[in-house]
Amino acid sequence: MIDQPQIGQPISRLEGRAKVTGTAKYAGEYNVDGLLYGYVVNSTITKGKITQIDTSAAKEIEGVIEVFTHENRPSLAWFDMQYSDMDAPPGSPFRPLQNAEIKYNGQPIALVVAETFELARYAASILKVSYEEESFATDLYQNQDKGRDPKVGMATFLKPLPPKPKGDFEKEYAASVAQVSAEYVHGTEHHNPMELFATTTIYEGDGKVTIYDKTQGTVNCQLYVGNIFGLHFKNVRVISPYVGGAFGSGLRPQYQLFMSVMAALELKRAVRVTLDRHQMYTFGHRPPTVQQLNFGADENGVVNAIKHTAIAETSQHEDYTEVVVNWSNILYPAKNTKLEYQLVPLDVYSPLDMRAPGGSTASHAIESTMDALAFKLSIDPVQFRLINYADMDVAENRPFSSKELKQCYIQGAERFGWSKRNPELRSMRRGNKLIGYGMATGFWESMTIPARAEAVLTKEGKLRVSSAVTDIGTGTLTVMTQIAADELGLPLEDVQFNYGDSKMPFAPIQGGSFTVSTVGSAIKSAGKALRKKILKKAREMDNSPFKNADDNDISFERGGISLNSNPAVMVFFKEIIAASGNKEIKTTNMSVPNVFKLKKYTRAAHSAAFVEVEIDEELGTIQVTRAVTAVAAGNIINPKTARSQILGGMVWGISKALYEETISDHRFGKYMNQNLAEYHIPVHADIHELDVIFVEEKDEIVNELGSKGVGEIGLVAMAPAIANAIFHATGKRINHLPIHFDELI
């Protein structure tokens, strides 16, 4: 008898109780005696120089310990080191307090350290800063002519630049029976995870620090701190206990980490720096983009000509890139293509990955264009996707490792009731409300990267697995415990997964939807190695029943090893441990994906979103009343936590389509709505029926688990599906996001 595998079970998150009862401690909640509090001061100008910072009044206040500025900061080991973190784009990274130069509005320019947070914040408010201002540019739309090709960087293999043009786009487009030419404009979006960025640095003496940080990568922050402050890596321990949402904002070390460590090392005391909500708008964002698409199709609805141009914002100091235009031709197999991606450096902070970076930007443009083309040709939007279905990735000329997108269309349409859609615009109503049905396709690359894991069979015969990986709220702890449990056939309660500590075996940053595949694969290889060791020990036991047993006849189950051919033959792990000197059995293994095999395939998760909107005909108010997302993401390790990921993505999609935007005043180069009152996001009353389907998808290529990751895919198709539904309901096609009710009146 084999225990039911844990993989595939809808297990509730193991840390759920700790989180809802408030016993889960976050980075800004670690208290030690003598803890000091830092408060950051941010620049109020956009570009220029600090001519003077008068800190004297602040320093006179009792309880204020120090004010750090560019004038008295310690000289640091590697102020200009380029790749000091794993997610750094090419360029020259920004370091707080480096010099008097101001590169963007909100730039951290000082840190006030005091005995209480309130005191630090008050003292920060009375610093007198004088500036010499220079002219600047922050408006992407007005500066599109300054677009240029991006620099190629370390991560270009993960974020490839567009492929070369193919065929003859101009000729084919001109000859098309139906053409759509449209511009899509996206504004800036800022990260607003519930938990604010916080770091508590404990000074341990002798240049040694223990750091509690809100991050998506403990090892990444360890490398960063070691590099920047010139510390031995072994003297830097980064612990990321619980993370209250991150979504990409914690892929790069944020500046509160720098500030907290700097102050702790200088003052030789424990220092906590927590950013406030306003300051969450000062360290990176989803970049604004302008996209121009020209798609042409023949009389049968076959898309033959695709042109997709994207112009995106970056900072003056780094070239942040996303994969935007490449998706057009991966999704739709046209032979004549022209794909271009350019950057405009502006006087802003470097953009930062935000859930489905590039993919959610691309999908809105591609899937709105496809919807417009289907309408022109009087073909049903789902049918139109099926006519143009890519069985192979013609852009890279290789097959997909698996692709059940067709099933997403079919099952999603069925569940939603797509067949009830009247194709005519403004034809469906409910009272004084116009009803619209819209759909769109989603896609996200499925990556697996190297990682390590340790697996230990404890003296009690239980399994302990560890990895430095974080759990940013996605369910990593639960899912990794499930994967580990199956390796030894143990129930969940006999498995402990330790994580979130740079001291543990290496894990890369948690993001890109690659954590389950990456760390899960590492756990699988550690598990395999551990089984081998356990079996070896079992065979060495006196009168071992396994001495001559074939490997295939062995099962790991019920807390021990048994023979398939005779299940009555059973030795418990505890007995094996006792027989081998009562010592733990331990292994640490690295998993490295087979890139030579993998690069023969395009590996991606797919989705189809179906959305119903209800629009008040007089007021223009928009409600997403129903949505179904069908997802093909390979093997789903935990359908419950995976579903939550998709639901979260769908809510974000509604937010992206209808609410979210950071408003800039380009006269001042400044974001104007740096708070949750004016930065709109949906609330409970805005979210109605959401439904998720995971379609069956077997993938033996992508990784050993056959799992593609679900972190981003839930978001990708939602915004275009909503925009398309609004078109169906009203006959108005609004191609910039977010779409507001006043545009529909």
CB of 514 to ligand MOS, least distance (A): 8
> Of the two residues 221 and 246, which places its CB atom closer to ligand MOS in the complex?
246
User: Which of 210, 256, 258 minimizes the C-alpha distance to 235?
Assistant: 210
CA distances in angstroms from 273 to 70, 114, 228, 269, 653, listed in the order given: 18, 11, 18, 13, 32
> Of the two residues 193 and 620, which places its CB atom closer to ligand MOS in the complex?
193
> Of the two residues 162 and 511, which places its CB atom closer to ligand MOS in the complex?
511
The rounded distance, in Å, linking the Cα atoms of 267 and 115 is: 12
> Of the two residues 193 and 301, which places its CB atom closer to ligand MOS in the complex?
193
> Of the two residues 351 and 489, which places its CB atom closer to ligand MOS in the complex?
351
> Of the two residues 196 and 354, which places its CB atom closer to ligand MOS in the complex?
354
CB of 657 to ligand MOS, least distance (A): 18
Cβ pair 288, 186 in contact under 8 A: yes
Give the tokens for residue 27: 């980075």
Check whether the bond before 423 is cis (ω within 30° of 0).
no
CB of 356 to ligand MOS, least distance (A): 7
Q: Which amino acid is at 319?
A: D
The rounded distance, in Å, linking the Cα atoms of 7 and 486 is: 7
User: Which of 373, 378, 389, 448 minimizes the C-alpha distance to 608?
Assistant: 389
Catalytic residue among 195, 487, 661, 712: 712
CB of 525 to ligand MOS, least distance (A): 23
CB of 323 to ligand MOS, least distance (A): 12
CB of 477 to ligand MOS, least distance (A): 17
The rounded distance, in Å, linking the Cα atoms of 582 and 576 is: 8
> Of the two residues 291 and 470, which places its CB atom closer to ligand MOS in the complex?
470
Catalog residues that contact ligand MOS under the rule CB under 6 A: 246-248, 251, 353-355, 357, 511-512
CB of 217 to ligand MOS, least distance (A): 10
Give catalytic status of residue 712 as yes or no. Answer: yes
User: Which of 676, 556, 694, 376 minimizes the C-alpha distance to 1?
Assistant: 556
CB-CB neighbours of 565 under 10 Å: 11
Q: Please, what is the Cα angle at 455 between 454 and 456, to 5 degrees?
A: 120
Query: What backbone phi and psi angles, to 5 degrees, belong to 626?
Result: -150, 150
Q: Which residues pair with 42 in a beta bridge?
A: 108
Give Cα 301 to chain centroid, integer Å: 35
Dihedral sign, CA of 400, 404, 409, 410?
positive
The rounded distance, in Å, linking the Cα atoms of 38 and 274 is: 7
Give the tokens for residue 548: 């001559």
DSSP 110-167: EEEEESSHHHHHHHHHT-EEEEEE------TGGGGGG-BPPPP-GGGGTSPPPPPPBS
CB of 193 to ligand MOS, least distance (A): 10
Name the H helices within 308-426: 326-331, 359-377, 381-387, 405-416
CA distances in angstroms from 145 to 140, 243, 311, 689, listed in the order given: 9, 41, 9, 43
Give the tokens for residue 299: 């009389």
The rounded distance, in Å, linking the Cα atoms of 251 and 273 is: 18
DSSP 643-691: HHHHHHHHHHHHHHHHT--B-EETTTTEES--STTTS----GGG--EEE
The rounded distance, in Å, linking the Cα atoms of 158 and 34 is: 44
- As a whole number of Å, the CA-based R_g of the chain is 27
> Of the two residues 321 and 587, which places its CB atom closer to ligand MOS in the complex?
321
CB of 250 to ligand MOS, least distance (A): 8
> Of the two residues 354 and 439, which places its CB atom closer to ligand MOS in the complex?
354
End-to-end CA distance of the chain: 65
CB of 454 to ligand MOS, least distance (A): 25
CB of 613 to ligand MOS, least distance (A): 27
> Of the two residues 287 and 512, which places its CB atom closer to ligand MOS in the complex?
512
Task: Give the relative orientation of helices 359-377 and 639-658 as an angle to the nearest 10 degrees.
Answer: 70
The DSSP letter of residue 85 is S
Active site (catalytic) residues: 712
